[in-house]
Amino acid sequence: MLFVRDSSLRIAPVIGLLLAAWAGTPALAQDASEWALDIRSAARVIAASAPRGATQFRTAVELRLDPGWHTYWRYPGDSGVPPNFDFSESDNLLAAKVLYPAPQAFSDETGTSIGYGDHVIFPMSITPRDPNKPVRLRVGVFYAVCEKLCVPASGHPELTLKPGQSSGYDDRIARAEANVPKQVSPQQAGLTAKRVSGGPKPLVDVDVATDDNIQIFAEGPTAEWALPIPKPAPGAPPGHRHFVFELDGLPPGVDPKGPLDLTFTMVGGDRPIEATTHLD
CB distance 141 to 43 below 8 Å? yes
- Give the model's pLDDT for residue 6: 35
- Domains along the chain with CATH numbers: 11-178 (2.60.40.1250), 182-279 (2.60.40.2440)
- Give the model's pLDDT for residue 4: 35
Sheet holding 93-98, edge to edge: 36-37, 41-47, 57-65, 119-128, 93-98
Q: Which residues contact 178 (CB under 8 A, 6 or more apart)?
A: 271
Give the DSSP H or E segment for 106. Answer: strand 104-108
Q: Which residues contact 6 (CB under 8 A, 6 or more apart)?
A: 149, 151
Residues 275, 181: Cα–Cα separation, whole Å: 9
- Give the model's pLDDT for residue 22: 44
**Each residue's pLDDT expressed in tens, for the chain with a length of 280 residues:** 333 333 333 333 343 444 434 434 443 348 999 999 999 999 999 999 999 888 999 999 999 999 999 999 999 999 899 999 999 999 999 999 999 999 999 987 778 999 999 999 999 999 999 999 999 999 999 999 999 889 999 999 999 999 999 999 999 999 999 999 999 999 999 999 999 988 889 999 999 999 999 999 999 999 999 999 999 999 899 999 999 999 999 999 999 999 999 999 999 988 999 999 999 8
- Give the model's pLDDT for residue 259: 94
- Give the model's pLDDT for residue 269: 83
pTM of the complete model: 0.87
- Give the model's pLDDT for residue 16: 40
> In degrees to the nearest 10, what's the CA dihedral of 12, 16, 21, 22?
90
- Give the model's pLDDT for residue 139: 98
Residues 246, 236: Cα–Cα separation, whole Å: 18
Dihedrals phi, psi of 180, to nearest 5 degrees: -80, 130
* Residue whose C-alpha is closest to residue 227's, from 260, 249, 245: 249
Residues 173, 43: Cα–Cα separation, whole Å: 15
Burial grade of 260 (CB within 10 A; 0-12, 13-18, 19 or more)? buried
